[in-house]
Structure 1
Amino acid sequence: MTASAQKKDPVEVEAKAAAAEAATVARDEVLEQEPKADPSKDAVAKLEKTSKTAIKDAKKSWHDFNVDVWLTPFNSIEFGPWKRDRNRGKSRQFTTDMDVFAEITENGERTGVLGYRKEIWKDATGMDKRLVLKLFSDTLNWKASMDMMLGRSVQQTLAAGGFPVTSFAINTSEDDNLICVERSADKWPLLPENFSFFIIHDGEPRFYRFRRDYINLGGDYTLIDQHGEHVGHIDGAILTIGGRWRCKLRGDHIDQRLLQVMKLFTGMVSFNSQARRHVKHIARDIRDGRLKPTIQRQEADLYMNPRRIR
């Protein structure tokens, strides 16, 4: 082959260069027409995936605590010289008739105690007899109160034809709203009782109920949410003299207000049968005209209109 033949034809070289340039331009136009990935959508998808994983993990985790009822008043909270006076100095919610009857332990350490107003429950009669429970921290800082609303209880009991419907109002340090826990009148013989309530979370109500277990030996209740899922449990021990409950709440429902409701409700279980009998007798005596109904001032304050002129 001659040297001139080995040299590339300038025309051919220029043609190939023009074709390559045209192909590059065409490819760039096609790429420009293809939809580009939206970074915000990728971030949202990643966040949703992370949230779903976190919720799934939370459902697998549980928060546990125990409620142990003391048999005697000889405990570190009340026993000792001037102990009650010092307790009242720590919190004005610790009234002169406050009797601490149970402790709450979490991870093996005491984190709180439960007390009730002994004078208006053990010593009072008629509509002056009312159950008031209070939850304190281990250092006796007030956390929440659970008041029997006797007026509301009698109202509902009379409407239910004498079936005892106990109603309670819970006031927590974590919330500006009252949480009303009420026994359901829709109960058939031999079937478990239910106590319903709701908590407002970011403006949205979340509904719950405590349902007594079908096989109930030590005061066992299951906490059920508005979707019918079991999100908590109160398991009463059988072989105890005072009372001991092992409680748990599912991780995705952990809320300080809900935990306080569970702790107070567990304490109320010790008084549940007495409270039912009391409301039933009061409603019957009012119906038959043997008792003139009255409302204590502390309970009347809980019924007051928040829009009243002050």
Structure 2
Amino acid sequence: MADGMAMAAAPANVKPAKARSKTKRRKVKVDFWATDLNTAEIGIMKRTQNEAASDQFTKDMELFGQTVIDGKREALIGYRQELWDGSEGFERRLVIRLFSETLGWRGTAEMMLGRSVQLSLAAGGRPVQAFTLNISRHNQLIQLERSAMRWPFQPERFSFFIQGKKTSRFYTIRRHMFGFASDYSIYDQKGRKIGVLDHQVINLGGAWMVRLNPEHYDRKLETVLELFCAILKFNRAGRNHVKAMTEQVFRGKVLPDLDHDEEDLYENPRRR
């Protein structure tokens, strides 16, 4: 009996297992400034210091936003102003770059006019934007494209995939059907909703909250979404430019002469 009582009492001395703590959702805000005056270019940092910090920070680079994670600024966002604001035709290209707080290069998104016009011609003139994303410490050039297959008045969709060491992951970004703001939902390859891009309409310069489900968090995915939010800042202007170029090519009013930097991104890596 004594042995039985001892065995029965033993579990009372065992500490209960701790409940598994929930992974905290990162508070990621991609915030765009309402004016050209910002602390990244005046006061704390000077433009000459910025240019020296990274060879990706070209002389025509204009900072226009930042990424704030859990209340702390973690990244700066810029675009090549001369290429976009000071060029025309096929020389006018949208090139967006993401930098760390110390101006180290983290990623680039480039509008591919050749690919965009190709897809738009096949879509009957409907503008279909295509981008190539190059992110730090990732060998793949990620292709992010707007879908041409949609009915009138349906929300726009974008898609891309990220190569991993053993497998690839496919994603779709779909704009919400209803609502005043430009909100988007993110879906994985099984059609499961894994996050939201919440448009902050009351922000004067524009902003999106990147809300990824913690179990689907991935640093490279987050970087792609940061760049995508920056692309959305130019979304309407980008569509209009692609539409205009597609129409001019269709009517034979322009000779499609691609920028050499864009041509490099089409190069065959296996050529001899």
Q: Which residue of 2 aligns with 1:236?
A: 199
Query: Quick one: which amino acid aligns to residue 209 of structure 2?
Result: R
Query: Quick one: which amino acid aligns to residue 99 of structure 1?
Result: E
Deviation at 1:266, TM superposition (A): 0.6
Q: Which has the higher helix share?
A: 1
Query: 2:212 aligns to what SS in structure 1?
Result: strand
Deviation at 1:71, TM superposition (A): 1.5
Deviation at 1:82, TM superposition (A): 8.4
Q: Which residue of 2 aligns with 1:117?
A: 80
Deviation at 1:251, TM superposition (A): 1.8
Query: 1:63 aligns to what SS in structure 2?
Result: coil
Counterpart pick for 1:256 among 219, 226, 251? 219
Q: Structure 1 pair 205/278, CA: closer, same or farther in 2 (3 Å)? A: same
Query: Quick one: which amino acid aligns to residue 56 of structure 2?
Result: Q
Counterpart pick for 1:142 among 77, 85, 105? 105
Alpha-carbon separation, structure 2, partners of 1:118 and 1:187: 32
Answer yes or no: is the 8 Å Cα contact 1:183–1:194 preserved in 2. Answer: yes
User: Which structure has the larger Rg over C-alpha atoms?
Assistant: 1
Q: Which residue of 2 aligns with 1:14?
A: none
Counterpart pick for 2:66 among 92, 103, 110? 103
Q: Which residue of 2 aligns with 1:219?
A: 182
Counterpart pick for 1:265 among 228, 250, 254? 228
Deviation at 1:233, TM superposition (A): 0.8
The runs of 5 or more residues in structure 2 that have no matched partner are 1-18
Deviation at 1:198, TM superposition (A): 0.4
Query: 2:120 aligns to what SS in structure 1?
Result: helix
Q: What TM-score results when the alignment is normalised by the length of structure 1?
A: 0.79
Q: Cα deviations across residues 251-310 of structure 1 (Å, max 9, x unaligned)?
A: 22222211110000011111001101100110100110111101111111111111123x
Q: Which residue of 2 aligns with 1:89?
A: 52
Q: Which runs of 4 or more aligned residues in structure 1 lie more than 4 Å from their structure 2 counterparts after TM superposition?
A: none
Deviation at 1:80, TM superposition (A): 4.9
Question: Are 1:187 and 2:150 an aligned pair?
Answer: yes
Deviation at 1:155, TM superposition (A): 0.4
Answer yes or no: is the 8 Å Cα contact 1:174–1:257 preserved in 2. Answer: no
Deviation at 1:78, TM superposition (A): 1.3
Q: Which residue of 2 aligns with 1:175?
A: 138
Which runs of structure 2 are paired with 1:10-25 in the superposition (5 Å)? none
Q: Alignment identity in percent? A: 41
Q: What TM-score results when the alignment is normalised by the length of structure 2?
A: 0.89
Deviation at 1:199, TM superposition (A): 0.5
Cα-Cα RMSD: 1.8
Alpha-carbon separation, structure 2, partners of 1:198 and 1:274: 25
Question: Are 1:308 and 2:268 an aligned pair?
Answer: no
Answer yes or no: is the 8 Å Cα contact 2:199–2:209 preserved in 1. Answer: yes
Answer yes or no: is the 8 Å Cα contact 2:39–2:45 preserved in 1. Answer: no
Alpha-carbon separation, structure 2, partners of 1:84 and 1:175: 28
Aligned length in residues: 254
The runs of 5 or more residues in structure 1 that have no matched partner are 1-52
Alpha-carbon separation, structure 2, partners of 1:256 and 1:249: 11
Counterpart pick for 2:169 among 202, 206, 223? 206
Deviation at 1:57, TM superposition (A): 4.9
Query: 1:62 aligns to what SS in structure 2?
Result: coil
